[in-house]
Amino acid sequence: MTPANPPSRPVLSSEVADALAAGRPVVALESTLLAHGLPRPDNRAAADDVEAAVRAGGAVPATIAVLDGVPHVGLKPAEIDRVCADPDLAKLGVRDLPVAAALGLSGATTVSSTALLAEAAGVTVFATGGLGGVHRLASETFDESADLTALSRTSVVVVCAGVKSILDVPATLERLESLSVTVVGYGTTTFPGFYVADSGSTLDWSVTDPEQAAAVFAARRRLAPGAVVVANPLPADEQLDPVLHDRVIADALAAADAAGVRGKGVTPFVLDHLHRASEGATLAVNVRLVLRNAELAGRIAAALAASPA
């Protein structure tokens, strides 16, 4: 059987191809947060809203997923329908891409695989909700997201609201340092806590506007491969109530443990538990922070296009 396109040769939508050819700004969006991070059917409206937020920031959105073995950068509405509707869609990190390509499988892409496919397509700015990272009790389970090592070798700007607060945030920041991933706060040296504005950890550096973020990325690209993480906190008046946050996260982690969930099932299980236990409060905040990140990513992509490295 002839293999489908190898992962290094993604298929671009015509809008994304035209924008890249003309040097116009493009922002990559991951599909795992749609397929596995947000519940159906709310995820479908969120997908459109996130793309609209990228446009509001001044860039063309490029949602990324693998369909029938072929990596796509920029999805048509019917393709986004597929990603959002299929309850059995695979979750694909970098290591899963060759299997999907060779066997003609479909799946949503995580931060790690989205960053790789974006870079291969020439898209250098990427928006998500929260990065994967070091799980609590990772010293026993060895559960550390492949997002971290992927970002150490992939040259993209990733706009996020920190790392998911279900994780061990200080340990994740230590690993990002070890892996030489550049991390800057957006307008703050307080590292955001995904659903909450403050994770309790601090950063060495901050940038004040999209132009500074673009300049940091341009300098990083001249220096060495690897990502620039732009950590964009929710404003305090939009965050989840921190007391509710701490309670529901403890419950969700205990439930995951009791259910014996392991591996790549952990993050979707815990996010789903949180959405239910908070009666939708974590879901609303999750969507809100992704929209803010998408808009900022659009503005950073526009700044990069205005003064290319």
Catalytic residues: 30, 164
Cβ 283 to ligand PSU shortest distance, Å:
10
Q: For residue 68, which of 84, 82, 52, 50 has the smallest C-alpha distance?
A: 82
CB atoms within 10 A of CB 36: 22
Among 264, 288, 292, 299, binds ligand PSU (CB under 6 A): 264
* Distance of alpha carbon 4 from alpha carbon 103, whole angstroms: 8
Q: Does 168 bind Mn ion (CB under 5 A)?
A: no
Q: Does 165 bind ligand PSU (CB under 6 A)?
A: no
CB atoms within 10 A of CB 266: 20
Q: Does 96 bind Mn ion (CB under 5 A)?
A: no
Q: 221-253 burial by CB neighbour count: b if 16+ within 10 A, else e? A: beeeebbbbbbbbbeeeebbeeebbeebbeebb
Q: CB of 301 within 8 A of CB of 57?
A: yes
Largest Cα–Cα distance of the chain, in whole Å? 55
Residue 168 contact, options ligand PSU, Mn ion, none, Cβ 5-8 Å cut-off depending on partner type: none
Cβ 141 to ligand PSU shortest distance, Å:
12
159, β-bridge pairs: 127, 230
**82 versus 264: smaller Cβ distance to ligand PSU:** 264
Cβ 266 to ligand PSU shortest distance, Å:
6
Cβ 18 to ligand PSU shortest distance, Å:
27
Q: Does 220 bind ligand PSU (CB under 6 A)?
A: no
Q: Which of positions 52-111 make contact with ligand PSU (CB under 6 A)? A: 110-111
The interface region with ligand PSU, picked from 11-19, 29-37, 61-69, 248-256 by CB under 6 A, is 29-37
Q: Does 175 bind ligand PSU (CB under 6 A)?
A: no
**167 versus 234: smaller Cβ distance to Mn ion:** 167
Structure tokens belonging to residue 209: 């506007």
What lies within 8 Å, CB to CB, of 35 at 6+ separation is 43, 65, 83, 84, 86, 89, 91, 108
Residue 111 contact, options ligand PSU, Mn ion, none, Cβ 5-8 Å cut-off depending on partner type: ligand PSU
Helix locations, 122-168, DSSP H: 138-141, 147-153
CA distances (Å), origin 113, targets 28, 97, 151, 271: 11, 8, 10, 20
Q: Does 143 bind Mn ion (CB under 5 A)?
A: yes
Cβ 132 to ligand PSU shortest distance, Å:
3
Sign of CA dihedral 253, 259, 260, 265: negative
**36 versus 273: smaller Cβ distance to ligand PSU:** 36
Q: CB of 294 within 8 A of CB of 277?
A: no
Q: Does 147 bind Mn ion (CB under 5 A)?
A: no
Q: Does 272 bind ligand PSU (CB under 6 A)?
A: no
Which residue ranges make up the site for ligand PSU (CB under 6 A)? Answer: 30, 32-33, 36-37, 110-111, 128-130, 132, 145-147, 264, 267, 271, 286
Which residue ranges make up the site for Mn ion (CB under 5 A)? Answer: 143
